Chain A
Amino acid sequence: MELFTPSYFLPCLYAFVGCVAFAVTFNIHGREIPISALGGAVGWLVYLLAAPWIPGEIVRYFLASLALSVYCEVMARLRKCPATSYLLISIFPLVPGAGIYYTMEHAIHGETALFISRGMHTLGLAGALALGILLVSSVMRMWTVFRRRTHHFPPFRRS
């Protein structure tokens, strides 16, 4: 299968280097730098690996964001650090920066139809990213409450 050549996975390395650099700009110190940067590489690896089976870019973004959120939550539990600090850095390769740029480019050239479809696509990617993070951290929060066993199920009112 010539699909998974070494050069196919090269972007993971670039993502890792980029994340290390951005970890420094957000003032992360010491061992946390490679740990948070690895999250970015994990996210992109999942995105690349899912390519042959799932053609939709938005669905692959969702899977990648699920994977990196799980990674970040696990690391946060292991290192006793807020999950956010890993998440903020790991998310970088998936942030649709290119989408924003190309949307703007279409707007400049007056290509309204392309502008709208590209803009919607970018919003979709951002939404998939958010949904993945939301899902994992909600489950993790519920799990922590369950583990503490302090839950006594107060009278529930439907809204």
Chain B
Amino acid sequence: MSSTLNFDYDQLLDLTAELGFRLMETGAEIYRVEESVQYILQAYGVTTGEVFAIPNCLIISFTDTTGHAHTRIRRIPAHGTDISLLESLNEFCREITQDPPPLAAALDRLDQIQKRHFVYPLPVMLLADFAGGGAYSMFFGGSLRDALCGGLCGVAIGLCLWLMGGLRANSFVRTLASGAVSALCALLLVQSGLGENLDFIIIGALMILVPGIAFTNAMRDIMSGDLTSGVSKTVEALLIATAIALGTGFVLTLAPAL
């Protein structure tokens, strides 16, 4: 591959930067992004490649056979987690490192993955929030009626997250507002006589917001030696946990006063 004279290094840079960027956007761990890009560079015969990634930045640089350096920096915006896209990209990466196709074809396939990708519509997400909130209300010891209320609070959180996402609110504000909304809903439901245990309802619904993902990813980054990413993700997880406590706490403190 690399021996052909008119090998387009800029296109290789396009491919690796785009793949790295999309992997980061699905919430992949830092080491996975760095390794994937490194493997693709090696598959196309570039052994002088360097990749550096932290949660919101990706830098790729390599030197071609004429000694010319190619570098690209991508800024990663705030993003969620999309596991099925992560799996498709991972599979794509494994396939092209085993048998590297022409660069244009690889870029085309990358676009196809993005186009064919299926994301659940909002009603399905809200249904999942309902089931999740309800199941965890019972998991923590609530009754069937608590589960119903937990589910309703879960839907409220789902709607709030969707609305705040549309308003481009950052994750701290988004979590704060969702926590407050769920506590408010739980209070109203208990007042109306449908819910029995306020705490089980709120805890069940809050499981949607709890930063388990952020924390797990942070730990995996720290384990693979990416301390910068690990520390910043740990801080993010702690901030989200604080936001949950502040949001629900705010409503629960104000409630007796009303």
- Show the binding face of A for B, using Cβ within 8 Å: 11, 14-15, 17-18, 20-22, 24-29, 32, 80-82, 84-85, 87-89, 91-93, 95, 97-98, 100-105, 107-108, 126, 129-130, 133-134, 137-138, 141
- By a CB distance below 8 angstroms, the chain B residues around A104 are 244-246, 248-249
Contacts of A21 in B (CB 8 A): 128-132, 135
Q: How far is the CB of B72 from chain A (nearest CB, A)?
A: 25
Residues of B within 8 A of A91 (CB): 212-213, 216
Segment 92-124 of B: residues with Cβ below 8 Å from A: 94, 118-120, 124
Q: List residues of chain A with CB within 8 A of the CB of B224.
A: 141
Task: Pick the interface stretch among B40-48, B55-63, B76-84.
Answer: B76-84
- B29 closest partner in A (C-beta): A84
Contact of B207 among A24, A87, A97 (CB under 8 A): A97
**B216 close to A133 (CB less than 8 A):** yes
Interface check B15, CB cutoff 8 A: no
- The answer to whether B252 touches A105 (Cβ under 8 A) is yes
Partner of A82, one of B86, B208, B210: B86
Query: Which of A11, A80, A97, A141 has most B Cβ within 10 Å?
Result: A97
A108:B135 contact, CB within 8 angstroms: no
Cβ-based interface call for B164 (8 A):
no
Question: B208–A22 contact, CB under 8 A?
Answer: yes
B37: A residues at CB distance < 8 A: none
CA distance in complex: A108, B224 (Å): 38
Q: How many interface contacts (CB-CB < 8 Å) are there between A and B?
A: 147
Q: How far is the CB of A99 from chain B (nearest CB, A)?
A: 9
Other contacts beyond A80-B94, A101-B244: 7, CB < 8 A:
A85-B86, A95-B207, A95-B210, A95-B211, A95-B212, A97-B136, A138-B223
Closest to A14 in B: B139
**Chain A residues in 8 Å Cβ range of B223:** 134, 137-138
Judged by DSSP, the binding face of A is helix
Per-position binary interface string of chain B over residues 138-155, scored 1 when its CB falls under 8 Å from any chain A CB and 0 otherwise: 111000000000000000
| Interface pair B32/A82, CB less than 8 Å apart | yes
B220 within 8 A of A: yes
Is B8 located at the chain interface by the 8 A CB criterion?
Answer: no
Whether A126 and B29, one on each chain, are in contact in the complex, defined by CB atoms closer than 8 angstroms, is: no
Q: Which 5 A-B pairs have the closest CB atoms?
A: A21-B132, A18-B135, A104-B245, A95-B212, A21-B131
Q: Which of A22, A93, A98 contacts B203 (CB 8 A)?
A: A98
Contact B217 A101 (CB under 8 A): no
Contact B210 A88 (CB under 8 A): no
Interface residue from B85, B213, B253 paired with A27 (Cβ < 8 Å): B85
| Closest residue of B by beta carbon distance from A134 | B223
Q: For the complex, what is the distance from the CA of A77 to the CA of B223, rounded to whole Å? A: 20
B249 near A108: Cβ-Cβ < 8 Å: yes
Asked if residues A27 and B206 are in contact (CB atoms below 8 Å), the reply is: no
Q: In chain A, what residue has the closest Cβ to B253?
A: A108
Pairs A–B under 8 Å by Cβ, sample size 28: A11-B138, A11-B139, A14-B135, A14-B136, A18-B132, A18-B135, A21-B135, A22-B128, A24-B124, A24-B127, A25-B120, A26-B81, A26-B83, A27-B84, A32-B84, A80-B94, A87-B216, A88-B81, A88-B83, A91-B216, A92-B207, A95-B211, A97-B206, A100-B206, A100-B245, A101-B199, A101-B245, A104-B245
Asked if A100 meets B210 with Cβ closer than 8 Å, knowing A18-B139, A25-B132, the reply is: yes
Give residues 163-204 of B contacting A (CB, 8 Å).
Answer: 199, 202-203
Chain B residue at minimum C-beta to C-beta distance from A12:
B139
Distance between Cα atoms of A26 and B87 in the complex (Å): 12
Residue from A20, A85, A134 with most neighbouring chain B CB atoms (10 Å): A85
With a cutoff of 8 Å between Cβ atoms, the chain A residues found around residue B206 in the complex are 97, 100-101
The residue among B32, B124, B215, B241 with the most chain A CB atoms within 10 A of its own CB is B241
